[in-house]
Amino acid sequence: MQNDHVLDLKSDYATRTWQIGSALTGVFDFDGTEFRPNVMATYGNTDMGTISFDARAYGLFDRVALDAGIVEMGIIRFTPELRFGLNGLTASQSAATFSLMPTLACEYRVGADTRTECGAGGGLRLSGSFWDQRAQLAISLDYERIGS
């Protein structure tokens, strides 16, 4: 039994999404500490098109449509990593490393409105190799805030 005081919406729709990105990184050794600058850019697009709904309320029925349109998003991120070797070894020689990764990022979004927001963050990573470097374990803590 239908409750006439409830708006009941039903819909079936599909979206089309694509994304492309690229990253550039390098490794520079400074007295056993590695500096790994990384710059990344990505762009994506989601086309939701027109979404049709069957709406029922108060004993009435109607077909309604929402033109949800297209949402675009681009991101540029710069993350320089400082990697330190543990156990007194250099980062390239050590089976265990610790990394500090500050981050600067900007996002560009176009949808119902257009926004460009930037922010910052950082990360910590502890990683190690075991069993003659046939197994690896990494623990990461990352935080990033973009916009207000």
- Tens-binned pLDDT, residue by residue, of the chain (148 aa): 455 578 888 888 888 999 999 999 999 998 889 999 999 999 999 998 888 888 888 888 888 888 888 999 999 999 999 999 988 888 888 889 999 999 999 999 998 889 999 999 999 999 998 877 789 899 999 999 998 7
Does residue 130 sit within a domain? yes
Q: Is residue 78 part of a domain?
A: yes
Inside any domain, residue 140: yes
Q: Is residue 108 part of a domain?
A: yes
Q: What is d(CA 141, CA 124) in angstroms, rounded to the nearest whole number?
A: 5
Residue 62 in any domain: the answer is: no
Number of domain units in the chain: 1
For residue 2, the model assigns a pLDDT of 55
Backbone angles phi, psi at 127, to 5 degrees: -135, 155
Indicate whether 63 belongs to any domain.
Answer: no
- Enclosing H/E stretch for 86: none
Residue ranges of E strands in the chain: 8-11, 16-25, 28-30, 33-36, 38-57, 60-78, 81-85, 96-110, 114-130, 135-146
Q: What tokens were used for 67?
A: 């033109």
- 52: in domain: no
Asked if residues 8 and 57 have their Cβ atoms less than 8 Å apart, the reply is yes
pLDDT for residue 144: 95
What are the b/e assignments for 36-59, b being 16+ CB within 10 Å? beeeeeeeeebebeeeeeeeeeee
The residue range of the domain holding 105 is: 22-46+72-146
**pLDDT for the residue numbered 3:** 58
Q: Pairing between strand 8-11 and 38-57?
A: antiparallel
- Judge whether 5 lies within some domain: no
Overall pTM surpassing 0.85 (yes/no)? no
